[in-house]
Structure 1
Amino acid sequence: MSKERGQRNRNLFLAWVAEMKSKESPNWLDYWHGNTLSPKKIADELGFDSSAFKEKRNKGLFDLLQDLKQELATSGVYQQRKTNLPLDKEVIAVNKDAVEDIKDSAKVRDLKRINRRLQNENAKLAAEVAKLSEFKDVLIEMGLWK
């Protein structure tokens, strides 16, 4: 990778992190995969290949991502599923309340999505019932409905 492209990728990443932190409540979980931040999702967002995050390819970018992971771990955001993160022979315990808040917000988001789907299905069924009730009226007039 050319040095210019490597520096451009680091600058893009730093700008993205600054933008995420400037939001009132950044949703880091959009860039989550498994138990960690996903370099692929971040790279896709920024428009470069995820292999740029590999230590051998771009040490500076790799270090920036590791620093972000540690920062999110200490604030309780990064470690949603794990209970601790080793940092230089030290273990940082994750704030259990933050983990519950993350799980609760994910549950709320899922419930809202299910609610929207059910409301759409209910509207379709109500329209179908209205159509069928017209047929019922016709059948009653014809004396075919008992």
Structure 2
Amino acid sequence: MTEQQISHAATNALSFYAAAKRCNINGMVPIGTPSIINASFSVELALKVILYSDGVDCKGHHLLALMEKLPSEICIEIQNYLVVKWPDYEQQLKNCDKAFVDWRYVHKIDIELNININFLIFLSEICCRIMMEQIGYTSNVELQDML
């Protein structure tokens, strides 16, 4: 990918993060499925930006497969933030793995899906922060002060 394409993907990662937050504002009726789809796509794009900036080609919507391609120190950084609040980090992450695909077509699925939107939005926050640090990106999108 070109630097311009990477920058565009980073902007989109932050935009989908912001959209997920807006769908899940405290005090309002949460809009579940759109929040899940936006947050999971934000994570996917942020991870892809990190990988593309390291010259790693990647495709697909499976978050676990993308994370396996990341440098181990980034995976550890992500885990260290999340495991404090979610000791069942591995299971939470597994529940998010195919969220972008599964939740877009939730009306066609015969199995019960289990996902923690708070975990997913926090994962999106962390991935966007790491992405911005990794590529030296600045944005006017407000990230939550969750860290």
TM-score (normalizing by structure 2)? 0.26
Rg larger in structure:
1
Higher strand content, 1 or 2? 1
Higher-RCO chain (CA-CA 8 Å, sequence separation at least 6)? 2
